[in-house]
């Protein structure tokens, strides 16, 4: 259960979800599932990007995570979703009914994939806790940019708005904007468009990410 999935060919799991999964398309900002809805499916991003969000009663919003092609989401654990999931851009996802996973020994590979995804999710969530608990605004933004680059093959594309970034980083939109401006002024990164940047000083951004 633990080490097995690390050593097996990931293509087997991909094959399993592709055989069982239904392809679905969502328009930008469409809800994929809602907070407090029952957990019925597991999803995998094919194209585009997805965010999960959670609302406090007075409207404060926290973004749980961003998901890119290949990422699995919807792994939440209770009977009901605690986060809702929305399309960041027009996107396509594969979805598999959780009930399809029960008792079928042939889908062991798919289970392994879900275990791996859960483990990765926990890992990333723990990193998120460290960031929100102990990093400064500048460090959070730097960490975020570095993380995005690492997850998207070095392309500095930001499919999310500044508000989404702020709600992920536990900051306001103005603070995010100021930090981005500052990083650019310090020649750490360079934006050639609102949502596209490149790293100009790898060493500096790595140090700033703390």
Partner DNA sequence: CGAGGGATTGATACGTCTCAAAGCATGTGG
Partner DNA sequence: CCACATGCTTTGAGACGTATCAATCCCTCG
Binding site for DNA (CB under 7 A): 136-138, 161-163, 170-178, 180-181, 191, 193-195
Distance in Å, CB of 4 to its own copies, minimum: 7
Cα–Cα distances in angstroms (integers) from residue 31 to residues 37, 84, 85, 87, in the given order: 12, 7, 6, 7
Distance in Å, CB of 80 to its own copies, minimum: 11
In the complex, the residues that contact its own copies under the rule CB under 8 A are: 1-4, 54, 56-58, 60-62, 64, 75-78, 82-83, 98, 101-102, 111, 114-115, 118-123, 125-130, 132-135, 167-170, 210
The interface partner of residue 187, options being its own copies, DNA, none and the CB cut-off 5 to 8 Å by kind, is none
Token pair recorded at residue 142: 């730097």
* Cα-Cα end-to-end distance for the chain: 33
Distance in Å, CB of 111 to its own copies, minimum: 5
Distance in Å, CB of 210 to DNA, minimum: 11
- Closer CB to DNA, residue 77 or residue 136? 136
The interface partner of residue 36, options being DNA, its own copies, none and the CB cut-off 5 to 8 Å by kind, is none
- Closer CB to DNA, residue 8 or residue 157? 157
Token pair recorded at residue 160: 């999310």
- Closer CB to DNA, residue 90 or residue 116? 90
Length reported for the chain: 210
> How far is residue 12's CA from residue 4's CA, in Å, rounded to a whole number?
13
Nearest to 72 by CA among 19, 102, 126, 112: 112
Cα–Cα distances in angstroms (integers) from residue 65 to residues 13, 79, 179, 198, in the given order: 23, 20, 20, 22
Token pair recorded at residue 93: 């996802």
Token pair recorded at residue 132: 């929100």
């Amino acid at each position: 259960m633990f080490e097995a999935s690390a050593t097996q060919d990931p293509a087997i799991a991909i094959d399993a979800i592709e055989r069982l999964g239904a392809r679905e398309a969502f328009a930008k900002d469409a809800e994929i599932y809602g907070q407090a809805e029952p957990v019925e499916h597991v999803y995998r991003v094919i194209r585009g990007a997805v965010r999960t969000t959670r609302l406090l009663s007075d409207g404060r919003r926290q973004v749980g995570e961003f998901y890119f092609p290949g990422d699995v989401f919807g792994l939440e654990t209770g009977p009901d979703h605690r986060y809702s999931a929305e399309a960041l851009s027009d996107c396509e996802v594969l979805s598999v009914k959780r009930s399809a996973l029960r008792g079928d020994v042939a889908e062991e590979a798919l289970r392994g994939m879900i275990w791996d995804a859960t483990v990765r999710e926990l890992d990333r969530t723990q990193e998120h806790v460290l960031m929100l608990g102990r990093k400064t605004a500048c460090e959070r933004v730097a960490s975020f940019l570095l993380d995005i680059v690492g997850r998207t093959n070095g392309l500095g594309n930001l499919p999310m708005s500044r508000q989404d970034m702020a709600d992920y980083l536990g900051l306001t939109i103005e603070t995010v904007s100021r930090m981005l401006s500052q990083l650019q002024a310090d020649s750490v990164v360079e934006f050639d468009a609102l949502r596209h940047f490149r790293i100009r000083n790898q060493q500096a951004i790595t140090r700033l990410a703390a």
